[in-house]
Amino acid sequence: MYKKRGLLIVLSGPSGVGKGTVRKELFTQPNTNYEYSISMTTRSPREGEVDGSDYFFKTREEFEKLIAEEKLLEYAEYVGNYYGTPLDYVNETLDAGRDVFLEIEVVGAAQVRKKVPDGLFIFLAPPSLSDLEERLIGRGTEDREIIASRIGKAREELEMMNLYDYVVENDEVLNACEKINAIVTAEHCRRERVEKRYLQMLEGE
Ligand code: 5GP
């Protein structure tokens, strides 16, 4: 029997570009019909964050056990903490025919690209590097040296753009969301995907 499998959508991009904001906006919109995969992390909850809703908050020991047991689709260490995507949730949701959305940093996204080559990879880019700098300064939490190192990192990450299928400039959150939704819709209509689906249906007759 033919079973439709969902599409794995990966949104990534440089630090400070606004991935989290875009993701949160997407999931407040009523027409968004893909599932957000809640990540695991070892970082402490920020004020207002809820375990099991924003993240699954884990100790380092718990996280390392998940790595050892191969329970993560991908993971990365970012600013001293682990972040990772639960494998079972992703597989079960895709198997149920629903699309899954990951919002992750670039090292993890590169791992997913290798494991799930038929996923949809979207790179969220800053309108310009100077704009990225403004945003980082705007946070008011980092000094100039840290900002400069973040800019250097962002430059490297921009070079990683070639791992992705689409680039969405985050000029304005609602514009970015609209583009992401349009990309997902178009991706479902891509000839290779449609053809594969019909061939599987015919073979499963
Ligand atoms: P924050 O601590 O600000 O919530 O997230 C820090 C970074 O971790 C962000 O760039 C976010 O996209 C990324 N991130 C969140 N969840 C995951 C995950 O499951 N895997 C990876 N590789 N990165 C993640």
Residue 152 confidence (pLDDT): 81
Residues of the chain with pLDDT under 70: 129-131, 139-142, 157, 205
Task: Please name each of the domains of the chain with its CATH number.
Answer: 8-37+99-204 (3.40.50.300)
H or E element: which one contains 36?
strand 35-36
Strand, coil or helix: 100: strand
Q: Report the Cα 125 to chain-centroid distance in Å.
A: 13
Between the alpha carbon of residue 102 and those of residues 97, 107, 112, 134, 198, the distances in Å are 16, 13, 10, 26, 27
Q: Quick one: which of 182, 180, 160, 131 has its CA closest to 23?
A: 180
| The amino acid at 37 | S
Mutate to test the pocket of ligand 1, among 10, 39, 42 (most ligand atoms within 8 A of CB): 39
H or E element: which one contains 62?
helix 60-68
Residue 154 confidence (pLDDT): 72
CA of 194 to the centre of ligand 1 (A): 32
pTM of the model: 0.89
- CB 108 less than 6 A from any atom of ligand 1: yes
| Tokens 């990540």, residue located | 39
